């Protein structure tokens, strides 16, 4: 079955009006490096245009901490918009729970076997233990990055 997708121009979106949806912001930063313990709690929500968030009930924002995904254009301090309804495939940037610890990685499928990897050539290969429990939690739809200094952020 092939899904039909209609592409809109920005002008069309502006004519249709800007409805917004509230997307929950997870309070614990998402580790972009080696996983670290994380508490699952919400920090608040951000209002985003509805056309950016096709499935609001399955969508969350995570703040990125670390630089293991910088070759994918995902940097420390960015916000990742994660959609739990998307099916991950080869090349997807995913949020995964590795032994219960949330992190962001690239999904690579080779010979019908999936594994997770960093997207930073300066880091060692991300090695998963043979018996590690890995659950892909969602797929990164897009990221948000500030390009100007933010007060109190040291940028």
Would you state the structure tokens that stand for residue 119, as one six-digit string? 């997207």
Chain centroid to CA 73: 12
For the question of residue 87 being annotated catalytic, the response is no
The span from the CA of 88 to the CA of 123, in Å, is 23
Catalytic residue selected from 36, 87, 105, 117:
105
Q: Which of 100, 97, 85, 17 is CA-nearest to residue 54?
A: 85
Cβ neighbours, 10 Å, residue 16: 11
Q: Is 55 helix (H, G, I), strand (E, B) or coil?
A: coil
CA atoms within 13 A on the CB side of 68: 23
Helix (H) or strand (E) holding 16: helix 10-16
Catalytic residue selected from 68, 85, 87, 92:
68
Task: Give catalytic residues, as residue numbers.
Answer: 68, 105
């Amino acid at each position: 079955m092939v899904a039909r997708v209609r592409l809109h121009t920005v002008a069309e979106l502006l004519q249709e009006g800007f409805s917004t949806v509230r997307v929950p912001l997870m309070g614990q930063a998402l580790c972009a490096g080696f996983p670290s313990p994380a508490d699952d709690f919400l920090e608040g929500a951000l209002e985003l245009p509805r056309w950016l968030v096709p499935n609001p009930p399955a969508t969350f924002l995570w703040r990125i901490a670390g630089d293991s995904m910088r070759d994918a254009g995902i940097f420390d301090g960015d916000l990742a918009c994660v959609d739990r309804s998307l099916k991950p495939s080869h090349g997807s940037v995913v949020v995964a729970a590795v032994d219960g610890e949330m992190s962001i990685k690239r999904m690579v499928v080779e010979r019908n076997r999936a594994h997770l990897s960093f997207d930073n050539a300066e880091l060692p290969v991300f090695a998963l233990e043979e018996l590690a429990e890995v659950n892909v939690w969602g797929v990164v739809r897009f990221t948000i990055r500030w390009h100007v200094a933010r007060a109190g952020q040291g940028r």
